[in-house]
Structure 1
Amino acid sequence: MSKLFVVGTGPGDLALVAPKAMHAIKASSDLVAYGLYLDLLGEICDGKNHHDLPLGEEIGRARLALDLAASGKTTALISSGDIGIYAMATLVFELLDRQLSGEEQHPEWLGVEIEVVPGISAMQAGASRVGALLGHDFCTVSLSDLLTPWETIIKRVDAAGQGDFVISFYNPVSKKRDWQLNAARDVLLKYRPASTPVLIGRQLTREDERITITTLGQLDGKDVDMFTMVSVGNSESRHIVNGQKEWVYTPRGYQKKL
C-alpha cells in the first residue's frame, strides 16, 4: 500500500526529534516541506528527493505529498514542532474529507496509508527552557487572522482569560500584523495581574535561541516577531530567581500537601 508519513520534527534541535520521526524520514524516498525544516534536519535528508515549497504554499505541499504517496513513493510530509498543531496534518485530512464528499477528484488518495508522527511543540520547548510554565491547565491560540476571523480569536482569548488558563500564543506578530498581541494582552489584563510572568521564546532550541522572561504588563508586540512564541502564565504562575538563574512555574495545587 502507498505510504505517507505526516511528521513533526520538533522545535529545531536534532536531539529533540523523536526516534519514530527519524525512522519515518529514513524510510521515505521523498520529503515534502518548507526548505528550512529540511535544512534543520541536516544529513538525515541526504539521498532523498526534496520537494521544497515556500511559505504560503501549504495546500500545494499537502496535495503534492498525497500525489507522491499515491504514485507509490514512500513520502514524508514534514513540519517543525508537532505537525498536528497549527501545521500540515489538518490539511491532509481536509483534502481527504473533500475527496470523500466529491469536492476533489483524486480517488487514488484514498488508497494511501497515512501515519501521523507527533513532535515536541514550541510551547513545550519554551516551557522546558524556563521550568514548568505549563504545570496546570493551559491552552493555545493562534493570533493569525489569515484563516480565522479576529472576532473569533479575541473571543477565545477572552474565554481563556476568564478561565485563568496559561495561554501560549502562536503566530503572535508578523510584518503585516503588528497589533494583535497587544490587543490580546489588554484582554488578559482584565483577568490577571500585570505582574503575571510571560515567556518570550525566539527560535526555540535553535542556535540563535533567545529567551526573555517579562511580565504581562510589560509585554509589547514590538519585542516579538514571526519566529517567536509567547506564553502567558495564569494568575498563580510564579517567577523565581536563584542567583543568575530564573525559573517560571505554574503550581498545580500541591501547596496544601507540602
Structure 2
Amino acid sequence: MSIVFDNICKKFQLNELEKYMTVLDHVSFNVEENEFICLLGPSGCGKSTLLKMLAGLESIDEGVINVDGNEVKGPNPERGMVFQDYALFHWLTVEKNIAFGLELKGVPKEVRKQKVDECIELVGLKGFENAYPHQLSGGMKQRVAIARVLAMKPKMMLMDEPFSALDAFTRMNMQDELMSLWQKQRFTCIFVTHDIEEAVYMADKIVVMNSRPGKVKTVVPVPLARPRKRTDYDFIKIRNHVFEQYGYQQSEDIDYSI
C-alpha cells in the first residue's frame, strides 16, 4: 500500500483557557508500496501522533493522508497497529489473544484456529499457546502483539516503538525477527523509533523529524543489502550521517577493522 502525507498539521489543547500546542507542522512525505519506513525523532516530535492519524485513531487538523489514493477517514483492518505497551488482554491465553480480532470479525472456528497456528509458528511461540501474558517475557509479549496483527492479514503494519521496553539483546533479536517476517510477508511498514541504529538496521529510508513542533528535517535513504551488519563501514557511515542531522559529529578516523 502506498501512502501520501500531505501538509499534516496538529495542535493539542493544553488547558481550559484554550491555549494550544502545535505538535505537527506541515508534515509531508511519501511511502511506496512494501517499503519499510522508520519515523525517527526525539520524544515529543509527533511521531506517534502521525502514526495514529494513519491508523485512523487520531484526527487531523489540516492536511490529508491518502492510502492508495483514498483519504484516511477512520480505522481500517488493512492497517494493523502494534503498540509500545503490547495491549494484550491479561485474562486471555496467547492463542486467544491472537484469535481475538478474527473472532470479532466472525471468522469460523476452524479457519480461525488454522490462522492462529500459522501466526504462532511464524513468530516462534510454538508451545506457548496456553500461556498467559504474565507468564511471558517482554519479547514474547511483543511477539503475541505482532502475531495478533498478522492474523488479520493487513497490507500495512504500523509499529509504535514496539521494542523500546526490551533489553538490548532481546531488542536486536526482535529486530531480526521482524525483518524476517517483513521479507516473507512483504507488507508496507511504518516503524516509529527514537533509536538511530535501529532505524538504520531496518529501514529502506528514514524520515528524520525535528523536535516539537514536528517537521520533516530530511529523508535518508538506506541502500544497504539485508541482512545488515552494524559493524560494516557503510552502515556506520549512514548512522553517522543521521547523527549529524541532529548536530552530533563522530570521527571518521576510527579504525573499524578491530
Relative CO higher for 1 or 2, CA cutoff 8 Å, sep ≥ 6?
2
Taking structure 2 as the reference length, what is the TM-score of the superposition?
0.29
